[in-house]
Amino acid sequence: MGESRKKVALVIGSGAIKCAASIGMFQVLEEEGIGVDLVVGCSGGAIYGVGIASGKTTDEIKEISDATWTKDLMQDYLVNLKASKDGSLKFNERSGLVDDNYLNEKLRSISGGKSFADLQTPLIVVATDMMSGEPVELSEGDVFSSVRASLAIPMIFPPWEVNGQLLIDGAASNPLPIDIAIQNGADVVLAMGFTFDYRQRFRSITAVQEHMTSIYMNNIFKNSYAFNNLAHHSEIFPIIPEFDSVISMFDVHKMPHLIERGREATLEQLPHMKRLLGRKL
Amino acid sequence: MEFKLTEVDGIGILRVEGELDALTSPELTRFFRTQAADSYLHVVLNLEGLSYSSSAGIRIFLGLAREARARGGDVRFAAVQPRVDKIFRLSKFDKIVQIYSRVDEAVQSFRKD
């Protein structure tokens, strides 16, 4: 009896616009004819996960990417931030500082009205339960709702309700959900993850708060990677692109750089992936 | 993969050369258990010639260190190359085992215990 083919999962972690590096990873996999059996996406990574799982070409995913990360995403942020400080904006568990109409419109367009069952490749989107803090796997029903929930950056975008659960950003509980890929049968995990850049200047309480969040998030990322790497038996290929400069949320002009760095990080692991998958080097 | 076992002051020095992944790591386990573990309580793994380690490789290293510690000894690491060092740090493996820049420093660390 021949050896059965290894199940390959692509995990795209949280990282907002940096997740565009996954386009470079996907380009390499396509060029090499390496098929993906499962896609797992978290937060920004969920957007690209939908593109890949829908069977879109890398050019189509790049177009989506260019159109997504614009300043329109942050509609009314500054006005609402000011209002939250002077008390005129009352906050509760369903609030966010951004009017999410633009985000919702973008994500509806990306999801194309599809349900998970319509996708070419199985997709799992990761969000976080607002009330318990537990990670939540979303793989059924409406793709838009799941991606919207996974992207609900705390305080910025309002949480999103799915199946009666109020959900926020998957990055709050599982920024690089390798464990979910493995629990769903992956033998080989290609895990693209991103860390937050640290600030050098602090000129406002918001800047300090953002910096502290980066520290928390980077430690969640590193600790969960370390646990998954040592605890599981599947082979994990970490694909961690490195960037020359700080990448801000709306650096659309850096898209070619992001994609190239995603390619480079993938090519670094490629010979090892191919050897494990029994491909010619 | 290639392995070379030598000895300094009763401490085993195992030089590991090549690339360590799910396919090659059983070779290291086999060599370590049959050649090094029975003869030496303390072993330094000289990784100067190791150019790559996957997650499976790190799990094997951890397993060897655990086995040595269970016998009252230890496995320490030396001359870790940048690509392998990057994965050690990402995996926080450097927080679990002792890593030294040079083999002689790793040997010296056992004398201080």
Q: Give B16-61 pLDDT, tens digit per residue.
A: 999 999 999 999 999 999 999 889 999 999 999 999 999 999 999 9
> In the predicted model, what is the mean pLDDT of chain A?
94
Report the distance separating Cα A261 and Cα A59, nearest Å.
Answer: 17
| Chain B residues near residue A238 by CB distance under 8 angstroms | 55, 87, 90
Q: Give how far Cα A223 sits from Cα of A15, A78, A211, B36, Å.
A: 17, 33, 18, 32
Cβ–Cβ gap B93/A222 under 8 Å: no
Cβ contact, residue pair B93, A226, below 8 Å: yes
Assigned CATH for B2-107: 3.30.750.24
Mutation site for B-interface testing, chosen from A230, A267, A281 by largest number of B Cβ within 10 Å: A230
A142-174 pLDDT, tens per residue? 999 999 999 999 999 999 999 999 999 999 999
Q: For residue B89, what is the enclosing H or E element?
A: helix B82-90
- Under the banding of pLDDT at 50, 70 and 90, the label for residue A281 is low
Residue A25 has pLDDT above 90, yes or no: yes
Each residue of A120-131: pLDDT tens digit? 999 999 999 999
Determine the Cα–Cα distance for residues A123 and A139; give it in Å rounded to an integer.
6
Helix axes A205-231, B55-70, angle to 10 degrees: 70
**Number of Cβ atoms within 10 Å of the Cβ of A66:** 13
Question: E strands within chain B?
Answer: 2-8, 11-20, 42-53, 74-78, 99-100
Query: What is the ipTM metric for this complex?
Result: 0.87
The answer to whether residue A1 scores a pLDDT higher than 70 is no
The residue ranking higher by pLDDT, B102 or A281, is: B102
CA angle A69/A111/A157 to nearest 5° reads: 50
The tokens of A132 are what? 């318990």
Q: How far apart are CA A201 and CA A58, in angstroms?
A: 37
> What pTM value is reported for the model?
0.93
Nearest to A226 among B52, B54, B91 (CB): B91
Give domain limits for chain B. Answer: 2-107
In this structure, what token pair is assigned to residue B103? 């083999």
Whether residue A280 is predicted with pLDDT greater than 80 in this model: the reply is no
CB contact under 8 Å between A235 and B56, yes or no, is: yes
Helix H or strand E segment including A162: strand A160-162
Selecting from A222, A230, A272 the residue whose C-beta is nearest the C-beta of B59 gives: A230
